[in-house]
């Protein structure tokens, strides 16, 4: 999501007079760490029974493949003790569940047993607003020469809310992400904003929205800034290991990366007019 | 009527000062130092030294009493004073770039002697007895000072032909900036916000135009500058690392003149002249860049430019009173299709009164207003933002020339601050932004100081001073309270710092004290001169900084806001020790200055991971405090005289920070380990040369080589939500590749200038001659089209030629 990032704009000015080149850099590689991608998404108007959890490890930065983690035992327990098992069926590292029962505000605990160590995380399933309307502006973007699309939704009233937004652009191999807090928009209509010079009539954009916790907002904020190339340049903030909410109960210091979160998901496809 | 009351008040003031003197004398006595009391009758020789051409006062002119091998120098307002026993003396008055004059005086009463010096003309070289050279200061305890004359600065090759005071300072030891195109500068491993930048005694909060490409000072309007890196005199305070003291010209009070230049980036024009001949003068200088600086990016609906305006009025009321009004106004403006409008800059208004109580007591009173404004309109998301800082500053400074052995400076400086951390408004009717004014903050800072420079013997001179600073954070404001007074809490399970949830609020009334601090800041210096050409010096200074620039980026951005100290954000405290060796040799043709320093800073602030500093109403919730240290060795070797002049500057240094956990359970930042700051530079070499071929051609060259900026490279990657994320461990463990670059310039002064009023000059320059692609950053990211990971090097300036035309008439 091209959610406005002022700092990157500053950088843009510098980048325009400068010159960028892809170079080779020798990097060290730290020993692999478990990475947990446990994003439980309950699509609106579905049962939400089918869910998956992905387990991988860290690897060499320039490696083209990400190692999967097979043979782990993965399950989620709700507050009344019901266990939902996630099993590796076809794809290695992908653990699937077909009987998950999503309930708004219910608390869930994720447990992963891997290599004799037990990892856990506990979260609540959050609600997500509906996408109410979409606007297209053919004279959009900063310079007014790009196609710009806005996806509107209403802020959940009278509480501090955090949102995670995703855009899938047909011209991009990876999705664009953004996070938003309602701090300056409390109780108002919010929007996800996207513009690109490549877009033309007939192209399909997919917009996805999730309500997230403040903790996860902070987590994603750091993660997206480090992943999105925000880790270099004069206006970048210092980097660090991004700690999520998955805790190693057996060997505390051998923590896992990644995050366990649950929420409703609003998803809408839009064809550029 | 008016005159009488003025006199009365001046008498009253004099009495007050006399009693103050007594107190000071007793204080000095308790320092264990006794004045050399002589029964001999003494008289004072005093006056002002000016440039004959335009009556501009000259700062730092040396007056030597040949018979006594003693002397003095003129202060920031061109005034000097020296008390000597009755007798006949030979004075030798010398200043860089001016003819040295000698004059005999019979001192049997107090003498007021104003002297005007003539610029040295190379053509008349044979008649000049001697030409004062730039050289190392031997006898004064003053050390760790970088001085450059405007002349020297103007002769150095520069980026895009823009003469830049701050960039020039980077060629001297101990001064660096984080990297090319980055704003601010770093002195002896200190952060950019630890520099006190004074323009005619007024604080400048942001010294950069265009996010750091150029500095905000118009070189034509500047008379003199001095950068104190250590041994900082007690009259300065409020910042830890350095003081950049810049004085604007007063304006020519003899004739009307204009000076200007046309360059690739900006053009300059300065007008100066008398209002009342020899008494009152004005100066107006403007500089503006062209509206479309980055042509590839900008079409007609877009613009990016900067401008600044320097003004000054000087009025000499009589022999004992001078009044100055000076102003500065500068702005940077970026406007992209009206959807992104960014405006920021400093403004300063300053009224000063120089008054001479008697031939030994010089005073300056200043009333200063200065502010920094930042405005941003993002129409695309309907957002309008304003922030800034304003201050009202009163300064009363005295220079007391007690004898030829001892000189005192003392005074007070009081500042009232008004901080606007931000106001948010919807920028159009469709905007869903809720307007909000972040709570304004107020503070009052005041300091009293006394400083003595005392010649103990022919070989030893000491300076000793003390500054007592006070800081009051004032209401009106409503502040959060936190459990156990901790605004940042540690989550032991996830091993991360989080903002604490406020437990309540306390409301303070207007001008009610919220928090207050006070500190004694001793300043010491000693020089031991082996002879006229060789000395060793040592200094110690303690500094307190009550203001913090809330910035979490590698180099400051214009958006960063200043915040006052409070119960959570403690004042930063610095102790610095420095020793040095100074030598002039071969008849002052060469000089060598070697210094080593150690700095220790307490309560240095850093931010928790993911801290959001923009529009943060409670900065205390993202701040952790720790310590910093810096140490280094600086060598400056200069060739001061001849057709070829220049210097080699080398700095070996380290700058580090540590934020430990507050309890053993907490990790701190970077696991509580020391980490290098973003402006740590292990090696830094500059070679600057200037060659004068003949009256027509002059050449300059500048080579710099430095260790690449500390950065953090990833030590792995992982996948999350369909994207790859670089994983990082400890901070600033890697370096960008070594930075180096050569710049050259050639200045052509056409022979047709001779004898005519219009004086023109062409300056041709090449920045980065061998087109080295220095890395300004290396970014690790996933390619959006191929989804594979890449390392991308950004180089800002390759080979850049420039041409500038300067004129005077």
- Our CA-based measurement puts residue A116 at a distance from the nearest CA of chain B, in whole angstroms, of 20
Does B116 lie in the same domain as B249? no
Q: B477 pLDDT exceeds 70?
A: yes
Band (pLDDT 50/70/90 cuts) for residue A140 is confident
A164 → chain B, closest CA residue: B721
A165 → chain B, closest CA residue: B721
In a domain, B764, yes or no: yes
Q: B24 pLDDT exceeds 80?
A: no
Higher model confidence: residue A12 or residue B586?
Answer: B586
Does B394 lie in the same domain as B357? yes
Does B47 lie in the same domain as B21? no
Report the SS3 class of residue B217: coil
A11 → chain B, closest CA residue: B211
Does B339 lie in the same domain as B270? yes
In a domain, B139, yes or no: no
Provide the 10 A C-beta neighbour count for residue B23.
11
How many domains does chain A fold into? Answer: 2
What is the ipTM score, two decimals? 0.93
pLDDT of residue B465: 95
Give contacts of B669 with chain A, Cβ < 8 Å: 240
3-state helix/strand/coil string of B761-788: EEEEEEECCCCCCCCCEEEEEECCCCCC
Q: Do A231 and B714 touch (CB under 8 A)?
A: yes
Does A151 lie in the same domain as A76? no
Of chain A, the percentage scoring pLDDT greater than 70 comes to 91
Q: What is the pLDDT of residues B98-114, one digit of tens each?
A: 888 898 999 898 989 89
Q: B32 pLDDT exceeds 50?
A: no
Average pLDDT rounded to a whole number, residues B489-513: 91
Give contacts of B302 with chain A, Cβ < 8 Å: 143
Q: B50 pLDDT exceeds 70?
A: yes
Q: A84 pLDDT exceeds 90?
A: yes
In a domain, B202, yes or no: no
- Tell me which residue range forms the domain holding A100: 34-126+242-262
Contact by Cβ (8 Å): B41, B109: no
pLDDT of residue B126: 37
pLDDT of residue B383: 82
Report the SS3 class of residue A153: strand
Of chain B, the percentage scoring pLDDT greater than 70 comes to 92
- Our CA-based measurement puts residue B489 at a distance from the nearest CA of chain A, in whole angstroms, of 13
Report the SS3 class of residue B598: strand
In a domain, B137, yes or no: no
Mean residue pLDDT of chain A comes to: 88
Q: Do A29 and B716 touch (CB under 8 A)?
A: yes
Average pLDDT rounded to a whole number, residues B628-634: 96
pLDDT of residue B641: 83
Task: Return the closest-CA partner of residue B157 out of B706, B700, B797.
Answer: B700
Q: What is the pLDDT of residues A20-69, one digit of tens each?
A: 889 999 999 999 999 999 999 999 899 999 999 999 999 999 999 999 99
Q: Do B725 and A226 touch (CB under 8 A)?
A: yes
Of A17, A61, A143, the CB nearest to B714: A61
Task: Return the closest-CA partner of residue A183 out of B616, B430, B188.
Answer: B616
Does A90 lie in the same domain as A181? no
- Our CA-based measurement puts residue B699 at a distance from the nearest CA of chain A, in whole angstroms, of 28
The DSSP code sequence of B405-468 is SEEEEEEEEEEEEEEEEEEEEESSTT--PPPEEPPPEEEEEEEEEEEEEEE-SSSEEEEEEEEE
Does B585 lie in the same domain as B728? yes
- Our CA-based measurement puts residue B725 at a distance from the nearest CA of chain A, in whole angstroms, of 5
A145 → chain B, closest CA residue: B337
pLDDT of residue B36: 43
Give contacts of B605 with chain A, Cβ < 8 Å: none
Does A142 lie in the same domain as A113? no
Provide the 10 A C-beta neighbour count for residue B92.
17
Q: B367 pLDDT exceeds 80?
A: yes
Q: A5 pLDDT exceeds 50?
A: no
Q: For residues B69 and B459, give the distance between their C-alpha atoms in angstroms, rounded to a whole number.
A: 12
Q: For residues B162 and B154, give the distance between their C-alpha atoms in angstroms, rounded to a whole number.
A: 9
Which of B127, B143, B162 terminates a domain? The answer is: B127
Q: B393 pLDDT exceeds 90?
A: yes
Which CATH number does the domain housing residue A224 bear?
2.60.40
Does A151 lie in the same domain as A62? no
Mean residue pLDDT of chain B comes to: 87
- Our CA-based measurement puts residue B162 at a distance from the nearest CA of chain A, in whole angstroms, of 16
Which CATH number does the domain housing residue B681 bear?
2.40.170.20
Band (pLDDT 50/70/90 cuts) for residue B38 is very low
Contact by Cβ (8 Å): A72, A48: no
Contact residues, B window 341-400, toward A, CB-based 8 Å cutoff: 376, 378, 380-381, 383
Q: B527 pLDDT exceeds 80?
A: yes
Contact residues, B window 775-804, toward A, CB-based 8 Å cutoff: 776-798
- Our CA-based measurement puts residue A77 at a distance from the nearest CA of chain B, in whole angstroms, of 20
- Our CA-based measurement puts residue A240 at a distance from the nearest CA of chain B, in whole angstroms, of 5
The DSSP code sequence of A34-103 is EEEEEEEEEETTS----EEEEEEE-B-TT-SSPPB--S-EEEEEETT--EEEEEE-SSTTEEEES-----
Does A101 lie in the same domain as A175? no
Does B118 lie in the same domain as B1? no
Of A60, A188, A239, the CB nearest to B716: A60
Does B119 lie in the same domain as B254? no
Q: For residues B236 and B81, give the distance between their C-alpha atoms in angstroms, rounded to a whole number.
A: 22
Average pLDDT rounded to a whole number, residues B615-630: 90
Q: A221 pLDDT exceeds 60?
A: yes
Contact residues, B window 146-165, toward A, CB-based 8 Å cutoff: none
Q: Do A14 and B796 touch (CB under 8 A)?
A: yes
Q: Is B428 on the interface with A (CB under 8 A)?
A: no
Q: Is B302 on the interface with A (CB under 8 A)?
A: yes
Contact residues, B window 163-192, toward A, CB-based 8 Å cutoff: 178-179, 181-183
Task: Return the closest-CA partner of residue B162 out of B204, B216, B223.
Answer: B216
How many domains does chain B fold into? Answer: 3
Does A116 lie in the same domain as A133? no
Report the SS3 class of residue B12: helix
Q: What is the pLDDT of residues B301-316, one digit of tens each?
A: 677 888 999 999 999 9
Q: Do A218 and B731 touch (CB under 8 A)?
A: no
The DSSP code sequence of B140-154 is SS--SEEE--HHHHH
Does B122 lie in the same domain as B8? no
Of B211, B434, B794, the CB nearest to A20: B794
In a domain, A201, yes or no: yes
pLDDT of residue B26: 46
Does B62 lie in the same domain as B12? no
Does A246 lie in the same domain as A222? no
Parallel/antiparallel/unpaired status of strands A107-114 and A94-97: unpaired
Q: Do B719 and A37 touch (CB under 8 A)?
A: yes
Q: B377 pLDDT exceeds 80?
A: yes
Does A159 lie in the same domain as A252? no
Q: What is the pLDDT of residues B228-241, one digit of tens each?
A: 999 999 999 999 99
In a domain, B235, yes or no: no
In a domain, B316, yes or no: yes
In a domain, B179, yes or no: no
CA distances from residue A19 to B335, B713, B766, B778 in whole angstroms, order as listed: 23, 20, 18, 12
Provide the 10 A C-beta neighbour count for residue B809.
12
pLDDT of residue B18: 47
Q: Do B381 and A193 touch (CB under 8 A)?
A: yes
Q: What is the pLDDT of residues B647-660, one digit of tens each?
A: 999 999 999 999 99
Does A121 lie in the same domain as A43? yes
Band (pLDDT 50/70/90 cuts) for residue B300 is low
- Our CA-based measurement puts residue A140 at a distance from the nearest CA of chain B, in whole angstroms, of 8
B552 → chain A, closest CA residue: A237
Of B297, B383, B716, the CB nearest to A61: B716
pLDDT of residue B131: 53
In a domain, B457, yes or no: yes
In a domain, A113, yes or no: yes
Does B256 lie in the same domain as B109? no
Q: What is the pLDDT of residues A143-189, one digit of tens each?
A: 778 899 999 999 999 899 999 999 999 999 999 898 888 888 888 88
Average pLDDT rounded to a whole number, residues B204-209: 89
Least confident among A37-46, A225-234, B502-511, B566-575: A225-234
Does A134 lie in the same domain as A92? no
Q: Do A223 and B725 touch (CB under 8 A)?
A: yes
pLDDT of residue B753: 74
pLDDT of residue B475: 86
- Our CA-based measurement puts residue B709 at a distance from the nearest CA of chain A, in whole angstroms, of 10
- Tell me which residue range forms the domain holding B20: 1-30
Q: Is B6 on the interface with A (CB under 8 A)?
A: no
Report the SS3 class of residue B207: coil
Does B96 lie in the same domain as B8? no
Give contacts of A153 with chain B, Cβ < 8 Å: none
Of A64, A141, A243, the CB nearest to B788: A64
Q: Do A221 and B723 touch (CB under 8 A)?
A: no
A57 → chain B, closest CA residue: B718
Q: Burial letters for B221-236: b for 16+ Cβ neighbours within 10 Å, e otherwise?
A: bbbbbbbbbbbbbbbb
Give contacts of B767 with chain A, Cβ < 8 Å: none
Q: Is B437 on the interface with A (CB under 8 A)?
A: no
pLDDT of residue A230: 55
Q: For residues A147 and B6, give the distance between their C-alpha atoms in angstroms, rounded to a whole number.
A: 71
CA distances from residue B366 to A204, B353, B392 in whole angstroms, order as listed: 65, 6, 10
Interface size A-B, in CB pairs within 8 Å, comes to 265
Contact by Cβ (8 Å): A196, B741: no
Four-residue CA torsion sign, B481, B482, B486, B491: negative
Q: Do A142 and B339 touch (CB under 8 A)?
A: yes
Average pLDDT rounded to a whole number, residues B356-361: 90
Does A73 lie in the same domain as A42? yes
Q: What is the pLDDT of residues B127-151, one digit of tens each?
A: 334 455 678 888 888 899 888 888 8
In a domain, A25, yes or no: no
pLDDT of residue A259: 96
In this structure, what is the dihedral angle of CA atoms B705, B711, B717, B722, given to the nearest 10 degrees?
-110
- Our CA-based measurement puts residue A50 at a distance from the nearest CA of chain B, in whole angstroms, of 17
pTM above 0.80, yes or no: yes
Give contacts of B376 with chain A, Cβ < 8 Å: 6
In a domain, A210, yes or no: yes
- Our CA-based measurement puts residue B555 at a distance from the nearest CA of chain A, in whole angstroms, of 5
Q: For residues B425 and B433, give the distance between their C-alpha atoms in angstroms, rounded to a whole number.
A: 7
Does A146 lie in the same domain as A236? yes
Does B451 lie in the same domain as B395? yes
């Amino acid at each position: 999501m091209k959610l406005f990032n002022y700092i990157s704009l500053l950088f843009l000015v510098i980048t325009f007079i400068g010159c960028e080149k892809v170079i080779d850099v020798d990097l060290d590689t730290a020993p692999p760490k478990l990475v947990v991608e446990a994003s439980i998404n309950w699509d609106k108007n579905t049962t939400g029974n089918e869910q998956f959890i992905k387990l991988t490890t860290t690897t060499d930065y320039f490696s083209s493949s990400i190692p999967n983690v097979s043979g782990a035992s993965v399950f989620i327990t709700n507050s009344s003790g019901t266990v939902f098992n996630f099993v590796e069926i076809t794809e290695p590292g992908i653990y699937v569940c077909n009987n998950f029962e999503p309930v708004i505000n219910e608390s869930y605990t994720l447990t992963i047993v891997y290599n004799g160590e037990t990892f856990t995380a506990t979260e609540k399933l959050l609600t997500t607003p509906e996408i109410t309307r979409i606007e297209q502006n053919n004279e959009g973007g900063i310079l007014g020469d790009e196609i710009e699309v806005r996806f509107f939704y209403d802020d959940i009233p009278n509480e501090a809310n955090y949102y995670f937004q995703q855009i899938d652009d047909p011209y991009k191999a990876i999705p664009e992400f953004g996070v938003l807090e309602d701090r300056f928009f409390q109780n108002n209509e919010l929007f996800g904003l996207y513009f690109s010079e490549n877009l033309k009539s007939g192209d399909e954009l997919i917009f996805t929205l999730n309500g997230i916790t403040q903790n996860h907002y902070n987590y994603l904020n750091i993660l997206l800034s480090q992943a999105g190339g925000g880790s270099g340049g004069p206006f970048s903030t210092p980097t660090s290991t991004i700690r999520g909410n998955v805790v190693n109960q057996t060997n505390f210091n051998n923590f896992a990366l990644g995050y366990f979160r649950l929420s409703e998901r609003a998803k809408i496809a839009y064809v550029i007019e | 009527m008016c005159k009488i009351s003025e006199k009365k008040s001046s008498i009253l003031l004099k009495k007050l000062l006399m009693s103050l003197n007594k107190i000071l004398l007793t204080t000095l006595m308790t320092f264990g130092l006794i004045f050399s009391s002589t029964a001999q009758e003494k008289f004072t020789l005093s006056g002002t030294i000016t440039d004959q051409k335009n009556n501009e006062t000259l700062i730092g002119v040396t007056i030597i009493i040949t018979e006594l091998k003693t002397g003095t120098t003129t202060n920031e307002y061109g005034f000097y004073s020296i008390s000597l026993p009755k007798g006949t003396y030979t004075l030798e008055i010398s200043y860089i770039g001016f003819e040295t004059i000698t004059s005999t005086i019979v001192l049997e009463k107090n003498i007021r002697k104003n002297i005007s010096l003539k610029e040295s003309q190379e053509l008349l070289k044979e008649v000049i007895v001697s030409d004062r050279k730039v050289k190392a200061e031997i006898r004064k305890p003053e050390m760790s000072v970088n001085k450059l004359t405007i002349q020297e600065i103007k002769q150095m090759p520069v980026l895009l032909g823009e003469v830049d005071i701050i960039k020039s300072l980077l060629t001297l030891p101990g001064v660096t900036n984080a990297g090319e195109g980055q704003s601010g500068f770093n002195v002896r491993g200190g952060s950019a916000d630890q520099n006190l930048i004074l323009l005619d005694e007024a604080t400048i909060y942001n010294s950069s135009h265009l996010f750091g490409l150029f500095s905000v000072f118009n070189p034509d309007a500047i008379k003199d500058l001095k950068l104190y890196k250590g041994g900082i005199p007690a009259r300065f305070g409020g910042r830890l690392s350095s003081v950049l003291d810049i004085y604007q010209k007063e304006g020519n009070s003899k004739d009307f003149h204009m000076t200007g230049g046309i360059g690739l980036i900006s053009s300059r024009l300065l007008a100066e002249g008398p209002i009342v001949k020899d008494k009152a003068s004005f100066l107006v200088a403007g500089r503006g860049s062209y509206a479309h600086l980055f042509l590839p990016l900008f079409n007609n609906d877009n613009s990016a430019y900067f401008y600044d305006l320097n003004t000054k009025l000087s009025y000499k009321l009589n022999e004992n009173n001078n009044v100055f009004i000076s102003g500065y106004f500068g702005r940077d403006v970026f406007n992209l299709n009206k959807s992104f409008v960014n405006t920021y800059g400093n403004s300063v208004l300053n009224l000063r009164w120089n008054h001479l109580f008697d031939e030994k007591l010089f005073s300056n009173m200043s009333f200063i207003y200065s502010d920094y404004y930042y405005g941003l309109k993002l129409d695309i998301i309907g957002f309008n933002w304003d922030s800034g800082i304003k201050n009202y500053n009163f300064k009363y400074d005295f220079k007391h020339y007690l004898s030829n052995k001892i000189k005192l400076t003392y005074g007070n400086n009081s500042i009232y601050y008004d901080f606007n951390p931000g106001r948010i408004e919807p920028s159009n009717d469709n905007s869903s932004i809720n307007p909000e004014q972040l709570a304004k903050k107020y503070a009052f800072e005041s300091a009293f100081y006394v400083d003595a420079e005392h010649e103990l013997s022919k070989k030893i001179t000491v300076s000793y001073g003390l500054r007592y600073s006070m800081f009051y954070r004032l209401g009106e404001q409503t502040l959060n309270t936190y459990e156990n007074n901790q605004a940042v809490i540690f989550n032991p399970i996830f091993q991360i710092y989080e903002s604490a949830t406020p437990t309540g609020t306390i409301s303070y009334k207007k001008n009610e004290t919220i928090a207050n601090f006070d500190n004694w800041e001793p300043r010491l210096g000693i020089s031991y001169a082996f002879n006229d050409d060789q000395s060793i010096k040592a200094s110690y200074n303690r500094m307190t900084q009550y203001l913090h620039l809330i910035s979490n980026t590698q180099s400051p951005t214009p958006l960063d806001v200043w915040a006052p100290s409070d119960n959570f954000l403690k004042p930063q405290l610095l102790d610095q020790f420095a020793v040095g060796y100074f030598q002039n040799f071969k008849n002052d043709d060469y000089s060598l200055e070697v210094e080593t320093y150690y700095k220790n800073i307490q309560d240095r602030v850093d931010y928790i991971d993911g801290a959001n500093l923009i529009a943060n109403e409670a900065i205390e919730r993202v701040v952790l405090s720790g310590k910093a240290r810096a140490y280094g060795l600086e060598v400056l070797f200069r060739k001061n005289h001849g057709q070829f002049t220049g210097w080699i500057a080398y700095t070996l240094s380290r700058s580090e920070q540590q934020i430990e956990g507050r309890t053993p359970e907490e990790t701190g930042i970077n696991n509580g380990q020391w980490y290098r700051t973003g402006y740590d530079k292990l090696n830094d070499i500059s070679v600057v040369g200037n060659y004068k071929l003949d009256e027509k051609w002059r050449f300059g060259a500048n080579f710099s080589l430095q260790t690449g900026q500390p950065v953090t490279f990833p030590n792995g990657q992982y996948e999350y939500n369909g994207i790859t994320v670089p994983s990082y461990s400890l901070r600033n463990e890697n370096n960008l590749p070594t930075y180096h670059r050569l710049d050259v310039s050639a200045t052509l002064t056409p022979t047709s200038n001779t004898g005519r009023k219009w004086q023109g000059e062409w300056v041709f320059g090449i920045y980065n001659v061998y087109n080295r692609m220095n890395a300004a950053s290396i970014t690790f990211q996933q390619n959006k089209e191929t989804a594979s990971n890449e390392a991308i090097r950004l180089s800002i300036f390759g080979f850049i030629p420039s041409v500038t035309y300067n004129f005077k008439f």
